[in-house]
Every structure is written in structure tokens, then in C-alpha cells.
């Protein structure tokens, strides 16, 4: 009698290879940008609105920390170590890494239809009721559906679209608006934001919006099954839900 050959089933990857690679490159670049950005802020923890801002200008707000420069008035009798040199170089380099990774992901997403098929909210996911239903499932630890491992829910779709198409472009715009060489060639980059100091203030505030996104993102990943989601983002395979 002929022996039946065993059936080989191939599990559909949750994330494509390019998504996984750009995800971790962006995560590393964001961490470097956050650390170096904080080091840069310590050199002058005062924020202004408009084109000009210096120690003789009234700030919009001041961070309650000592500065790394004795010429910056902060009300503290202590000067932080000055790490402004290396942090600016690394900040600039990490920014380009993040931009190039984001560009590769964006072009791939448009070419393959990834944004339209996987991230654009579907008809039934465009209301608050759908978002509230997903959030309730997270906190109740509701069991995942059979297609959950390969499909973003309503909350993920809305948040990821906002981060990809609003927050990241805004971070790039405000970052370029602080560059004297770039604004010399394209002055509207800063003037449309109210000036270079306005761009710096907005850049700082947007940073903390992204930090909040990362915190919520990690929390939701943990509630949905941390090791399963981590395995999916490293190997592409979802594995068991917990």
C-alpha cells in the first residue's frame, strides 16, 4: 500500500521581515534619540516661543532641573556634567537612521498595500464603540480570536496610523526647523511653526507624546501576551497567545 506523505502546513508570518527589521532599528534609534535629546536639553532646560530665545528672554516654561552650563539661570547652585558635544553628534546620526528606516518601511507599505490592508481602520472600526470594545477586552484579558495573531485591532490601527503619518512626520519637521542650515534654504519650515524656538518647544513636547505611545504600546503587548508578541516581532511567528 502506498504510504501517504505527511501534510506540511506553513504558518503565515504575523510580521514581514522588513517590518521586523525596521521596527527594531527604529526602536534602537528612538532610544538613542531620547537619551541624547535629554542630554541636549540639560544644556539649556528653558523653552521659548518664537524665533529667538536666550537667557535674557522670558521662557515659555523651564524644566525644574539644573543646567549643564553655568551661564543658564535655573535657580540651582549646581551645574550638571556637560555632555552636549557627543550627544549632538549621536542625536543627528540616530535621527538619520530613524528617518531611513521609516522611509524604507513607508515605501514598502505603500508598494505592498500594507497600510491599506492592515492599518487603515475598517468600516466597523471607525467608531468609539469599536475602540472601547477592544480596550475592554485588553483589561479583561479576553481570549483572542483565531485571526487575532495576524490582524491589528481597532485601537492598534488608529494609533499606528497616527504615529506613522502624524507624529513621526511632525518630529522630523520640527527637528529640521531647528537646523540653521536647513532653515536658511527653507525658511518656511520654521516660520510656519512660529519660529525656531517654537519648533524646539514643539519637538520636546512631541517627544513625550511618543514616549507615552511606547509606554501604552508595551503595556498592551504585555496584556495581549508579551512573549507571543515578542516572538512574532523577532521571528515572524506568533506562537501561542501566552
Confidence grade of residue 11 (pLDDT, cut at 50, 70, 90): low
Q: List pLDDT tens digits, range 198-207.
A: 999 999 999 9
CB 29 within 8 A of CB 90: no
Q: List pLDDT tens digits, range 143-196.
A: 444 445 456 777 788 889 999 999 999 999 999 999 999 999 999 999 999 999
pTM of the entire predicted model: 0.83
- Name the nearest CA neighbour of 190 among 110, 200, 210: 200
131: Cβ contacts below 8 Å, ≥ 6 apart: 125, 154, 155, 158
Q: List pLDDT tens digits, range 170-184.
A: 999 999 999 999 999
Q: In sequence order, what are the beta bridge partners of 46?
A: 62
* All three cell numbers of 236: 515572524
CB 106 within 8 A of CB 22: no
Amino acid at each position: 500500500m502506498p504510504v501517504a506523505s505527511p501534510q506540511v502546513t506553513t504558518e503565515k508570518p504575523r510580521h514581514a521581515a522588513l517590518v521586523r527589521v525596521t521596527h527594531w532599528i527604529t526602536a534602537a534609534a528612538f532610544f538613542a534619540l531620547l537619551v541624547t535629546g535629554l542630554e541636549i536639553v540639560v544644556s539649556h532646560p528653558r523653552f521659548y516661543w518664537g524665533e529667538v530665545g536666550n537667557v535674557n528672554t522670558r521662557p515659555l516654561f523651564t524644566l525644574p532641573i539644573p543646567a549643564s552650563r553655568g551661564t543658564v539661570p535655573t535657580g540651582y547652585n549646581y551645574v550638571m556634567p556637560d555632555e552636549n558635544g557627543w550627544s549632538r553628534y549621536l542625536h543627528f546620526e540616530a535621527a538619520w537612521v530613524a528617518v531611513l528606516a521609516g522611509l524604507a518601511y513607508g515605501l514598502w507599505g505603500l508598494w505592498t498595500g500594507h497600510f491599506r490592508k492592515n492599518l487603515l481602520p475598517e468600516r466597523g472600526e471607525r467608531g468609539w464603540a469599536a475602540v472601547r470594545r477592544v480596550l475592554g477586552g485588553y483589561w479583561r484579558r479576553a481570549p483572542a480570536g483565531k485571526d487575532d495573531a495576524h490582524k491589528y485591532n481597532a485601537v492598534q490601527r488608529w494609533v499606528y496610523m497616527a504615529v506613522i503619518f502624524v507624529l513621526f512626520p511632525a518630529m522630523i519637521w520640527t527637528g529640521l526647523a531647528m537646523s540653521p542650515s536647513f532653515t536658511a534654504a527653507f525658511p518656511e519650515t520654521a516660520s510656519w511653526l512660529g519660529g525656531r524656538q517654537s519648533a524646539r518647544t514643539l519637538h520636546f513636547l512631541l517627544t513625550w507624546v511618543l514616549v507615552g505611545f511606547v509606554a501604552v504600546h508595551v503595556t498592551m503587548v504585555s496584556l495581549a501576551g508579551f512573549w507571543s508578541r515578542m516572538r512574532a516581532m523577532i521571528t515572524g511567528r506568533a506562537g501561542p497567545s501566552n
